[in-house]
Amino acid sequence: MNKSELIEQVATSAGITRAQANAAMDAFRDAVTGALRSGDRVTLVGFGTFSVSERAARNGRNPQTGATIKIKATKVPKFKAGKEFSEAVKGGKKKK
């Protein structure tokens, strides 16, 4: 499912226009991104938690030449699925 298909499904499920669903999806993305940039975590009970993980600097290899390269430390977004979400995906609990 791509973004367009997701927006269509959200619009249909919520009984709103595609433009409203698109605006809601963009607002959600912007809110989560802003919170993570400021160092916060975003927890949606029953769905999961968005957070930022820090990767330490490390050495790697260029696959074409085999030369050792230095990879800088960086921050990466992380998502941990909540219990209810995990169970729903596994086929356990059905959403009401």
Residue 91 sits in a domain whose CATH number is 4.10.520.10
pLDDT digit string, tens, across residues 33-55: 999 999 999 999 999 999 999 99
Can you give the pTM of this predicted structure?
0.77
CA distance 72 to 57: 5
Q: Exposed, middle or buried by CB within 10 Å (0-12, 13-18, 19+), for 96?
A: exposed
Residue 92 predicted with pLDDT over 80 = no
Residue 96 predicted with pLDDT over 60 = no
CA distance 21 to 25: 6
CA distance 78 to 54: 10
Whether residues 52 and 80 fall in one domain? yes
**pLDDT the model gives residue 32:** 97
Residue for token pair 């809110």: 31
Whether residues 47 and 93 fall in one domain? yes
Whether residues 49 and 94 fall in one domain? yes
Q: Could you give the 3-state DSSP secondary structure of residue 84?
A: helix
Q: Could you give the 3-state DSSP secondary structure of residue 94?
A: coil
Mean pLDDT rounded to a whole number for the chain:
94
